[in-house]
Amino acid sequence: MSLVDLPRYEFARPATLDETCAMLAEREAKREKTVLLAGGTDFMVQVSQGKLASDPLPLVVDIGRLDELRGVRLDGSRLRIGAAVTYLELQRDPIVREYAPLVAQMTHDIGGPTIQARGTLGGNLATASPAGDGIAAIAAYDPIIEVQSVRGRRRIPMAELQTGYKATTRAGDELIVAIELPLPAHGAAWCWRKVGTRLAQAISKVALGAVAEVSGGKVGRIGLAIASVGPTTSLLPRTRALVTATPLANLTAATVDAVVAEDVSPIDDVRSTREYRVHTAKAVVRGFLRELGAPV
């Protein structure tokens, strides 16, 4: 499969979510392959690089315009982001900027402006790359990923979504509809820190999304997620446990570094080394904890 094959694909634009689910189920039953298309920033590259199985050729189904996948809504302390909302729309959305500033900040670090104009969180989650910046940013909020199929709607907690490298618990005929963020207290501390070869158009060597509620020198709720330090987005469970169990003033660099090292399992690859990634993961986590007042 390569660029010259692009014209061979068949293409469908169902008008509603139900129609899309029915189409996916029908094709799944007949064991026919289907690929969903949102912003196309992963799909079109895969096609042109010849990374997509083409025998038989999948049907491409455009979901970018489905109403149910569009828009951002605040319901009390929950922020619901449609899976097909683009990074640019998130960047400009006053509700996202106010209530989930970490998500708004992350969008500036996705590719460049033209990628931000098309790429979506649904596509980032479905591609499920451990380097996905969108995933790392939303994972700090411990979100629920809402998926839908003809069998109905299912809510997958972030911690139960990824099972391995680019593998998830989402079934082949399940569409990602929305991401629901349980928001921390308004004004909670947050940080987004992406480390790559350059500021734009670079895949993360390490990227940290973090939110925390602090009161009286102690951390109540904390969310931490790092991209590119393992086969899946790392949710740093041991680091979270240490930080909520210890008054900030009692944290030390050595204890933090030790748990972070246990929480991540990066590899050497073309973009970076295991050693650099472990070092940087520790550094970005300590950087955030320092902002919270820990002497690390």
Partner 1 sequence: MKVALKVNGVQRHVDMAPLARLLDALRGPLGLTGTKEGCGEGECGSCAVFLDGVPVNACLVPIGQCDGCEVVTVEGLAAAGHLAPLQACMAEHGGAQCGICTPGMLIAAEALLRRNPDPTPVEVRTAIAGNLCRCTGYERIVQSVLHAAHELRSTEKGAAE
Ligand X SMILES: Cc1cc2nc3c(=O)[nH]c(=O)nc-3n(C[C@H](O)[C@H](O)[C@H](O)COP(=O)(O)OP(=O)(O)OC[C@H]3O[C@@H](n4cnc5c(N)ncnc54)[C@H](O)[C@@H]3O)c2cc1C
Selected from 89, 133, 257, 263, the binder of ligand X by CB under 6 A is 133
Q: Which residue is nearest to ligand X (CB)?
A: 123
37 vs 294, beta carbon nearer partner 1: 37
Assess contact for 86 and 65: CB atoms under 8 A: no
**8 Å CB contact between 83 and 120:** yes
Q: What sign results for the dihedral spanned by CA atoms 36, 40, 42, 45?
A: positive
Stretch of residues binding partner 1 (CB under 8 A), selected from 45-53, 187-195, 203-211, 251-259: 45-53
Partner interacting with residue 10 (select from partner 1, ligand X, none; CB below 5-8 Å by kind) = partner 1
Strands (E), the chain: 10-12, 34-37, 59-62, 72-75, 78-82, 144-149, 152-157, 162-164, 167-168, 175-182, 189-195, 206-215, 218-227
- Under the binding rule (CB under 6 A), the answer on residue 41 touching ligand X is yes
What is the size of the binding site for partner 1 (CB under 8 A)? Answer: 32
Q: Which amino acid is at 250?
A: N
Figure out which of the listed residues 29, 199, 241, 249 binds partner 1, where binding follows CB under 8 A.
199
Does the footprint of ligand X cover residue 115 (CB under 6 A)?
Answer: yes
Q: Is 294 in the site for partner 1 (CB under 8 A)?
A: no
Selection from ligand X, partner 1, none that 3 binds (CB < 5 to 8 A by kind) is partner 1
**Span 177-206, contacts to ligand X by CB under 6 A:** 201
Q: Please report whether residue 167 would count as binding ligand X according to CB under 6 A.
A: no
Q: Which sign does the torsion angle of CA 12, 14, 20, 26 carry?
A: negative
